Amino acid sequence: MSSLIRHVTIDSLDAYALGSFWAEALGQPLHEDDHPGDPEALIEGAGLLFVTVPEAKTGKNRLHFDLQPQDRTRDEEVTRLLGIGAVLVDDRRREDGTGWVVLADIEGNEFCVERSKAEREA
């Protein structure tokens, strides 16, 4: 018998706030039972479970998300994510159009934005 990953669980200071950021970033809703102040928030379609813990993030992520925009360019997606509260950590874009951008979410968790499929095929 084998196992499957049911959720990726992310510790947070405010599960609902962080879950809401990622729900907007991914264009997927939080579970209908989740409300401000709840100790957990779930984005069921993405398999992401946010849980409130007392301690803040203290170091570099050991695991991070690499996002690939589906209906816009990498640069448009970076602009959109910055607009919803992400912060620029490192810009690894190259003159030839390759590379990625490292951002952090509203609690400082780093993630990358890569080129879209269309950009990779061009």
pLDDT of residue 74: 98
pLDDT of residue 122: 83
Percent share of the chain, pLDDT over 90: 93
Average pLDDT, the chain: 96
Residue 8 has pLDDT above 90, yes or no: yes
Concatenate the DSSP letters of all residues of 49-116 into one string: EEEE-SSPP-S--SS-EEE--SSS-HHHHHHHHHHTT-EEEEE---TTS---EEEE-TTS-EEEE---
Q: Could you tell me the pLDDT band of residue 1, with boundaries at 50, 70 and 90?
A: confident
State pLDDT tens for residues 22-66.
Answer: 999 999 999 999 999 999 999 999 999 999 999 988 988 899 999
Could you tell me which of 4, 5, 41, 1 has the C-alpha nearest to residue 23? 41
Q: Could you tell me the pLDDT band of residue 67, with boundaries at 50, 70 and 90?
A: very high
